[in-house]
């Protein structure tokens, strides 16, 4: 659907979708990571991305939206590493 919209609106629009992954619907992917720094980082990003839930406290200059975007990037990188 996204490809059709893009190609209909833009003359030279192309979608490179070979690296797109759906957003995770639960937290199982975090628990599947090896224990340590990376799993803890994913947990913190998940906590910071939830509206109104900032435990541990959100660092200065960061927002839940930024944490959610970072979490999606983290998820896509973990999927790449799992290949």
In a domain, 54, yes or no: yes
In a domain, 13, yes or no: no
- Does the pTM surpass 0.85? The reply is no
In a domain, 67, yes or no: yes
In a domain, 78, yes or no: yes
In a domain, 7, yes or no: no
Helices 37-49 and 64-82 sit at what angle, rounded to 10 degrees?
A: 140
Q: Tell me the residue range of the domain where 27 lies.
A: 23-82
Domain count within the chain: 1
In a domain, 60, yes or no: yes
In a domain, 56, yes or no: yes
Tell me the pLDDT tens digit for each residue of 39-50.
999 999 888 887
Per DSSP, helices labelled H in the chain are: 2-9, 28-31, 37-49, 64-82
In a domain, 4, yes or no: no
pLDDT less than 70: residues of the chain? 1, 16-23, 53-54
């Amino acid at each position: 659907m996204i490809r059709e919209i893009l190609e209909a609106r833009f003359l030279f629009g192309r979608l490179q979708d070979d690296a797109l992954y759906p957003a995770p619907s639960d937290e199982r992917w975090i628990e599947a990571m090896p224990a340590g720094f990376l799993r803890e980082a994913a947990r913190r990003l998940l906590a910071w991305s939830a509206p109104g839930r900032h435990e541990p406290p959100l660092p200065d200059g960061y927002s839940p939206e930024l944490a959610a975007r970072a979490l999606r990037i983290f998820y896509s990188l973990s999927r790449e590493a799992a290949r």
